[in-house]
Structure 1
Amino acid sequence: MPVESDAELRELLGLRTVAVVGCSSTPGKDAHEIPRYLTEHGYDVIPVNPNADEILDERAYDSLSAVEEEIDIVDVFRPSEEVAGIVDETLERDDAKVLWLQLGISDPDAEARAEEAGIHVVPDRCMKVEHQRLHAP
């Protein structure tokens, strides 16, 4: 079952290392601005984009599998049809605790596989919006 309660969302937002799959190097795009916001609010953002060497002054990795650091949250900015492959990569790791699918992104079958493996799934929600809503001063 997907994460829905505010208490659970608050707890998950307390995790600090976020691999952003589909992180963009283009200012103005959500896939750039939201990771920038997360960085500004104390998160360690790890960009995953095979078309960039560096994003937001951080090394960009070609794939989730290539990320060397420990990951808490996999934040997805890719089309829904790519979610199954991202879940496969997530399940190959033993560190990811959360699969966060940004607004408009979902794949119920892949989400169910992640949940069965013990990963919290937050589908079709913006991490920035939820952070602002739950942690507003």
Structure 2
Amino acid sequence: MPVDSADELETVLEYETIAVVGCSSTPGKAAHDVPKYLLEHGYDVIPVNPYADEIFGREVYDSLADVAEEIDVVCIFRPSDEVGDIVDAAIERDDVKVVWTQQGIRDDEAAARAESAGRTVVQDRCMKVQHRRLAA
């Protein structure tokens, strides 16, 4: 079952390194403003977007497989029908502990695969909203 309780969400929010798949370079888009908020609140945000070179002054990676750093949380800002492939890429990495899909994004089959692989899953929740509610 995906994480739903405040205690479980607080535990997830304690992780520090977040790869944001679908991170946007366009201010005003949630895929830009949420990771920027996380960065401003002390998280190590790793942008993943094959169509950008730099976001927030940071190198942008084309895919999760290209990220050299260790990743704690994969935060997904892509349509629900793309979640499965992203989750599979997250599962291939030994370091990913949590898969988080943003508000309005969910794939129950992919979530079940991630959980079966020992990953914590948060679906259909905004990381910024949860951080403001529980950790700020």
TM-score normalised according to structure 1 size: 0.98
- 2:22 is aligned with 1:13: no
Q: CA-to-partner distance for each residue in 1:90-125, whole Å, 9 max, x for gaps?
A: 011000000000011011101000000010000000
Aligned residue number for residue 26 of structure 1: 26
Within 5 Å, give how 1:48-87 maps onto structure 2: 48-87=48-87
| 4+ long deviations beyond 2 Å | none
Q: CA-to-partner distance for each residue in 1:40-93, whole Å, 9 max, x for gaps?
A: 000000000001111011100000111110000000000000011001100110
CA shift for structure 1 position 5: 1.1
Which stretches in structure 1 are left out of the alignment for 5+ residues?
none
Which stretches in structure 2 are left out of the alignment for 5+ residues?
none
- 2:122 is aligned with 1:118: no
- Quick one: percent identity of the two aligned structures? 65
- SS at 1:125 equivalent: coil
TM-score normalised according to structure 2 size: 0.99
Which amino acid counterpart does residue 58 of structure 1 have in structure 2? R
Within 5 Å, give how 1:84-103 maps onto structure 2: 84-103=84-103
CA shift for structure 1 position 132: 0.2
- SS at 2:9 equivalent: helix
- SS at 1:25 equivalent: coil
